[in-house]
């Protein structure tokens, strides 16, 4: 029996919400035994909150979480993960650039591994953002000793045990594959599609994420070198 939670952080996406809900529903409803869609409103200032409440009233599979104020993507991702209840947890963004049908590109690998990271091909972004992402992934891998090619890809799928192992700080949504490995789980990347944004615009610039991402990568690299791993040989007289 496959139970799936689809977690989506949302900030000022009023033009995308209804299509987002429909696309996720169409993608999953015939392919899993049960599902929930966890939509986290990160303190949106447009009509996003009102639209989310309308959707939740009409669809019992939808769970909406409203933040009191804008807290950032990591907070929204973590809140959604912690409020989800299924054995598998998928993450994606609300901008419609990820295709929820690609969740089922990732799902066949669950069981062989614990965490599947979607690796976007033919990214529909500006040349500057493409170069920024390429440099960012290179720097992150250099500082953390990883080989993840698209750690900031929004589309990911993980087992419940992986989701429950996370304790996130601001900015760490960019390092979920590395954090999963640090917590003792197995990770692979699988190619997924990437689509043009239909409505609205990106909420993230180029320079600021690059600077904060560098600092965060230094911290993750430092923590990775200090992960404690041990195996107990025996415990005499356990009683």
59 falls within a domain:
yes
234 falls within a domain:
no
**Kindly report the CA angle at 177 between 176 and 178, in degrees rounded to 5?**
90
The 10s digit of each residue's pLDDT in 192-217 is 998 776 665 565 544 455 556 667 77
Determine contact, residues 141/214, Cβ cutoff 8 Å.
no
208 falls within a domain:
yes
- pTM of the entire predicted model: 0.83
Which band of pLDDT confidence, cut at 50, 70 and 90, is reported for residue 155?
very high
- Spatial separation of the C-alpha atoms in residues 137 and 149, rounded to whole Å: 6
232 falls within a domain:
no
The 10s digit of each residue's pLDDT in 11-40 is 999 999 999 999 999 999 999 999 999 999
Q: How many domains does the chain have?
A: 1
Average pLDDT of the chain? Answer: 86
The CATH number assigned to the domain holding 47 equals 3.90.550.10
DSSP summary character for residue 95? S
Q: Answer whether residue 134 shows pLDDT above 70.
A: no
- Spatial separation of the C-alpha atoms in residues 76 and 85, rounded to whole Å: 16
**What integer pLDDT is reported at residue 218 of this predicted model?**
74
Query: What mean pLDDT do residues 104-108 have?
Result: 97
Of 150 and 141, more confident: 150
231 falls within a domain:
no
**What integer pLDDT is reported at residue 205 of this predicted model?**
47
Of 162 and 121, more confident: 162
Which band of pLDDT confidence, cut at 50, 70 and 90, is reported for residue 150?
confident
Determine contact, residues 179/172, Cβ cutoff 8 Å.
yes
Give the total residue count for the chain.
Answer: 239
Q: Answer whether residue 141 shows pLDDT above 70.
A: no
Strand, coil or helix: what is 89? Answer: strand
Query: What mean pLDDT do residues 135-154 have?
Result: 68
Can you tell me which residue has the tokens 């197995």? 186
The 10s digit of each residue's pLDDT in 29-77 is 999 999 999 999 999 999 999 999 999 999 999 999 999 999 999 999 9
58 falls within a domain:
yes
23 falls within a domain:
yes
Domain holding 183, by residue range, is 3-224
190 falls within a domain:
yes
- Token pair, residue 216, equals 């965060």
């Amino acid at each position: 029996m496959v139970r799936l939670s689809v977690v989506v952080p949302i900030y000022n996406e009023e033009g995308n919400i209804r299509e987002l809900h429909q696309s996720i529903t169409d993608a999953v409803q015939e392919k899993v035994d049960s599902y929930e869609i966890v939509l986290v409103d990160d303190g949106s200032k447009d009509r996003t909150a009102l639209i989310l409440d309308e959707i939740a009233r009409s669809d019992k599979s939808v769970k909406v979480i409203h933040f009191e104020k804008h807290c950032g993507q990591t907070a929204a991702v973590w809140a959604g993960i912690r409020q989800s209840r299924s054995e598998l947890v998928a993450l994606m963004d609300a901008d419609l650039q990820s295709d929820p049908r690609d969740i089922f590109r990732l799902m066949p690998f669950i069981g062989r591994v614990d965490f599947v990271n979607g690796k976007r091909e033919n990214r529909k972004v500006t040349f500057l953002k493409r170069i920024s992402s390429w440099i960012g992934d290179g720097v992150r891998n250099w500082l953390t000793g990883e080989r993840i090619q698209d750690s900031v890809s929004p589309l990911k799928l993980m087992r419940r045990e992986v989701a429950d192992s996370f304790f996130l700080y601001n900015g760490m949504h960019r390092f979920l594959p590395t954090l999963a490995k640090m917590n003792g789980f197995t990770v692979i990347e699988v190619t997924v599609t990437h689509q043009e944004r239909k409505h609205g615009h990106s909420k993230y610039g180029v320079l600021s994420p690059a600077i904060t991402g560098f600092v965060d990568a230094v911290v993750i690299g430092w923590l990775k070198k200090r992960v404690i791993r041990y195996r107990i040989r025996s415990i005499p007289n356990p009683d």
